[in-house]
Amino acid sequence: SVTSSVYDYEVYHGRTYHSYDAGSYLCPNDKLEQGRLHLQHRALGRLFGDRLHLAPLQTGKTSGRILDVGTGTGEWAICMADAYPSWQVIGTDLSPIQPLFVPPNLAFYIENAREPWVCSEPFDYIHTRATLHAGCWGDFKQEVIEQAFKNLHPGGWLESQEMGCLVQSDDGTLPLDGPLSRWIADVNSASAKIGRPRDVADRMAQWYSEVGFVDVEQKLFKIPVNSWLQGTGLENIGRLWGLNLHEAVEPLSVRLFDVALDRDATATEEMLVDVRKELENPFVHAYTAFYVVYGRKP
């Protein structure tokens, strides 16, 4: 049955991957990856000042429906269910890696969100976080923004919290021919080759408006990739984000490079040694651009 088969994970190079609609997502789902997702959640929580959302949800509503698309471990959805106990929260993902004991107003479903959404009733708020850089979407505008617009109540909000280019620098300290820059180029070219573009977060606000959302806002955050930005309050966030990226480079690369570039896992792992060294170098003033875009359905 589907219920039992979703736990029959695929194994590749010692990591496990979702089995439901196998191959739709090229990052692992094992305990190591779940730990990394927890680091990511903590870092972003600090970046946003412990705000789970930036869209103005409560405008006179005491109850509603929330959808978290690509919920992963479900940590954000659990926090939202606790923060909004009178609202119904639903999280969807390809992997059943969410905890069994959750708030009573929260439910998780195994779905491929790239397919047409089947919703019993509209939502008041729909959310994505950190899905673009992981190669979740073939067409973010069609698969997420347009589907969200169709499945929101009038007055409902869509919010996308997504990474732009994985790593960049404004002061020239990130060598353009160095291992980190070459890795980013490989990730972007491999992703484009399989039809999963990753570096498109800066286009989300335009797409929101084209689809029909109003009151569209874009907030841009910069997260240092280690503790190089001293005296700004961001050094601790950078330390967390650096730990996240140190763990992320392998799951973001190994299977993708095998599928798209015909590069075996051993060769990729060898390349990533120097990538991690550059990520940890405090003299490289690199950061991740993080876009938060939200808009209202009129």
Which uninterrupted H or E stretch holds 223?
A: strand 214-224
Report field, pTM of the whole predicted structure over 0.75? yes
Q: Is 190 left (phi over 0), alpha (psi -120 to 50) or beta?
A: alpha
Q: What is the mean pLDDT of residues 213-241?
A: 90
Tokens of 91: 């999280």
With bands split at pLDDT 50, 70 and 90, how would you rate the model's confidence at 218? very high
Place of tokens 């471990």: 73
- pLDDT tens-digit map of 61-85: 789 999 999 999 999 999 999 999 9
Name the nearest CA neighbour of 160 among 179, 178, 176, 140: 140
Using CA atoms, how far apart are residues 157 and 298, in angstroms rounded to an integer? Answer: 9
Place of tokens 């299977």: 255
Model pLDDT, residue 197: 93
Q: What is the mean pLDDT of residues 249-276?
A: 96
On the question of pLDDT at 35 being above 50, the answer is: yes
Q: What is the mean pLDDT of residues 112-130?
A: 95
Coil, strand or helix: which one is 45?
helix
With bands split at pLDDT 50, 70 and 90, how would you rate the model's confidence at 59? low
Q: Give the residues across from 286 on adjacent strands.
A: 169
Model pLDDT, residue 1: 41
Coil, strand or helix: which one is 150?
helix
Model pLDDT, residue 261: 96
Class of residue 130 by CB neighbours under 10 A (exposed 0-12, middle 13-18, buried 19+):
buried
